[in-house]
Structures are given as structure tokens and as C-alpha cells.
Structure 1
Amino acid sequence: MAKKKEITKQDIVGFYIDYYLENNKQPESVYKFAKHYGFEEPFFYATFSSFEQIEKTYFSSIFEQTMSLLEKSEEFSGYDARTKLLSFYFTYFEMLTANRSFTLALLQQDKNKLKSLAKLSDFRKHFINFYNELEIERIDLKQEKLVEIQEKSMSQMAWFQLLLTLKFWMDDTSLSFEKTDIYIEKSVNTSFDLMDIAPLKSLIDFGKFMWKEKVSFKM
């Protein structure tokens, strides 16, 4: 007798995506959903508390798969911060594209935009942690409170940039979403160019020198 295949958490997510796309709505109940796909209801509650939680963890699940793929690459760990972020973007949006119909359904089903953003809350935490771990050169502000403010503002801007990219991807009608690839490359490169602190550091160092030497500009 063949051994019955063990149902995994990822299987349940796959079942849910399949059901949602075929019926354009959530299952009527966990009981009917489990029965339809041939597993026991208690197993669902051992992995998810509700259908809403599946939707909420969907984007963070893709984040985890993205990082797993990137970390398997021997080159990834040696990339600079800019290249790591670009690699993340391209891989993450490639995975979203593989599930585009479901992704759009999740983000467009609520007229209340705040509800749509709530589905991204877990993913947001993962992304900001990832971004903060990138070795992005920052101005040495000396004071701990100012450093915290700087890091928070940078990560918030990075998250806002990702949301803008997501919106662009949702609206993109180009073949193979090639315009989204161009948008990603240009937006990420622009953000890093704007954060280039070398000129600013030189100006600050010059200002310190001028102050220290008390240079007079009397004519």
C-alpha cells in the first residue's frame, strides 16, 4: 500500500491559491477546504489560524523563498549593498510574477487600501531587517539617538520605494514585465546615488578644518 503523502504548510498555501483563483473567493469554511484537498482540519489549525493569515504570510513566504535562493549563490555574500538589493528585487518580483494572478487578487480585493497594506505587514518586517543588515555607508553622527533616527528614516524610505515598485509592477502591461525590470534598476541605482555620502563627507571634513583653523575671510 502506497504511503500517503504528508501535507506541508507550503502545500496548504498552494491549495489556497488554487482554490481562490478557481472560485475568486475564500473557501466557505476550513472544514470544506480541508475535505476538498484531502487532509484533516486540525492540521490546518496547526499551521494557520485562518485564511486571512495565509494571505498575510503569503508575501513573507515569498521573501523567505527569495532569500533562500539568493543565499544558495556563492557570489551573493560577496556582493556590495547595491547589488544585493538589486538581486533581491529582481528575484522577489520574479516570484511574484509566477503568482501574479493571486498577488493581484489579494492586493485589489479590498477597496480599503489600508487592508491591502495590512497584508504586507509581515513582509515589511522581514524586508526592513534585510535592508538594515546591508552594509550601506552612513554618516557617522556620533550620537546614538541621531544614528537611530538616520537608520529608521533610511529603512522607511526603502520600504516606500518597494511599495512604489510593487504599484508599478501591478500596472505594468509590458511583455515579460520588462518595464518593471528597468524601473527596479533605475530606482535602486538612483536611491544609492542619492545616498552617496563621499561628497558630503568631504564637505563636512572641510568645514571641521575651517572651524578648527578659524580661517578668516576678511578682504
Structure 2
Amino acid sequence: MKNKTALSRDFIFTQYSDYLLNNGERPKNVYLFAKKNKFEENEFYHFFSGFEQIEKEMLNHFFLKSVELVTNEPHQEQTSAKETLLNVYFVFFENLTMNRSIVIKILGESKLQNLKILDTLRTSFISFIDSLEFKELEILEKANENIQKLNQKSRQEALWIHFLSVLEFWKTDQSPDFEKTDIFIEKTIDTGFELLDNEPLRKMMDLGKFLWKEKFKMG
């Protein structure tokens, strides 16, 4: 009896990544991809609607796994929103680094803000942000519901733009172990969360100096 491939999302992820990296382009169609990997075309559609969805789900998979790893840590309920966000960023970008070749191939050369490939990841990211307990200013705590929703929406968008900026930075980071991406994450999140402390100006200056050096040191 002919051996049948045990099909799963992870199997498809692996085989699709291998094909994309070896051939530099997507398979011609699902039929040929399925035939090459010894499963029936209709089985593919139990998991994905097409190759673009594989790519969307692959990026989302790395993010969800990162969130799961961080949020399942002991005493996580005692961790601040800032610490949780930092931990998720560090784990996520470590995941991306482990799979850098396929991630760079999927993201391509375009600016990330306009990439449809990030739609699914964006939905998961916003859901994660909404799960965090941010300390609100007293004036916002007492505001009406519409103002609170506007504040939440502004936070979602601001953090999503920040997330994209880190992803862009990581794409072009040439430092060993991508250590400058870690610095970028820490400095930008620290600044965002600590603007209301005793020394916001110093933090902004530190961030400005770092960004200036990274952008112009080779000029």
C-alpha cells in the first residue's frame, strides 16, 4: 500500500518554506505543490486557501507562539504591560531570526505599511495589545466611553506603527546576533512607556542619539 504523507499545518509550512527558498518563487499551483509532497490537492484546502494565506499565517504563527510562551510564564499576572510587551518583542524577533531567510523572502523589499501579507498578524497584534493592562491617566479613567475608546484606538495604532518600525529595523540590521534590534526595541518601548516620568527629555535624547548614529554613521 502506498505510503501517505501525514498532512498538517506545520508540514505545509516546512515544505512551502523549503520550496520558496530553493526556487525563489511560489509553486506554479497547489496541484503541483501537493503532488510533489505526496498528498491530494483537496487536503491542502483543509488548512489554507492558497499560498498567500500560508505566508500570512506563517508570520502570524511566529507571533502567536511568542505570545503564548511569554504569557504562560509563572507569575505572569504580576508582570507589567511594559515588561510583557518587551518580552513578547524579544521572543518574537528571536523567532524571526531563527527563520530569517523565509521571513525576509515573504516580506520582500517593499515598505511594510502597505503589505497585505501582514493583515493577519496585525489582527493578532491588536488583540494582544488589548489584553494588556495599561495604567491610565486619571483624566482618562474618568472620561466618557467614547473618549476611552478613542484612547484605546490611538494606542493600538501607535503600537502597531512602532511594531512595523522594529520589523523594518530588523530587516536591515547587520549587527552580530541582531543586537542593535534588541537595543532599538528596548529604547523605543522604554521611551514610550516612560514619557511621564521625571526625566522624559533625557530618554528622548538617548533615543535620538541612537537613531542618529544608526542612520548617519555610514554617511
The CA RMSD measured in Å over matched residues stands at: 2.1
In the alignment, which residue of structure 1 is the partner of 2:83? Answer: 83
| Residue of structure 1 in register with 2:203 after alignment | none
Paired AA for residue 124 in structure 2: H
Distance 1:157 1:55, change over 3 A: same
Shift of 1:5: 5.3
Distance 2:29 2:130 in 1: 40
Query: 1:21-36 maps to which residues of 2 (within 5 A)?
Result: 21-36=21-36
* Aligned counterparts of 1:157 and 1:95: Cα–Cα separation in 2: 23
Deviations 1:71-111 (A, max 9, x none): 332133321111100000000111111111111111115x5
Instruction: State the shift of 1:196 in Å.
Output: 5.6
Unpaired stretches in structure 2, ≥5 consecutive residues:
199-219
User: Which residue of the partner structure matches residue 17 of structure 2?
Assistant: 17
1:189 maps to amino acid: D
What's 2:119 paired with?
121
1:47 aligned to 2:47? Answer: yes
Single out whichever of 137-146 and 42-51 deviates more from structure 2: 137-146
Structure 1 CA distance for aligned equivalents of residues 133 and 149 of structure 2: 15
Counterpart Cα distance in 2 of 1:177 and 1:191 = 22
Instruction: Specify the structure having the higher radius of gyration (Cα).
Output: 1
The alignment covers a number of residue pairs equal to: 195
What is residue 132 of structure 1 aligned with on the other side?
130
Give the distance between the partners of 1:195 and 1:41, measured in 2 at CA: 56
The runs of 4+ residues in structure 1 deviating greater than 4 Å are: 1-5, 111-115
| Unaligned segments of structure 1, at least 5 residues | 198-219
User: Identity over the aligned pairs, expressed in percent?
Assistant: 37
Q: TM-score, normalised by structure 2?
A: 0.82
TM-score by length of 1: 0.82
Match of 1:201 in 2: none
Q: Is residue 2:151 matched to residue 1:150?
A: yes
| Aligned residue number for residue 66 of structure 1 | 66
Higher mean displacement: 166-175 or 133-142: 133-142
Name 2:208's counterpart in structure 1: none
Asked whether the equivalents of residues 82 and 189 of structure 2 are also in contact (C-alpha less than 8 Å), the reply is yes
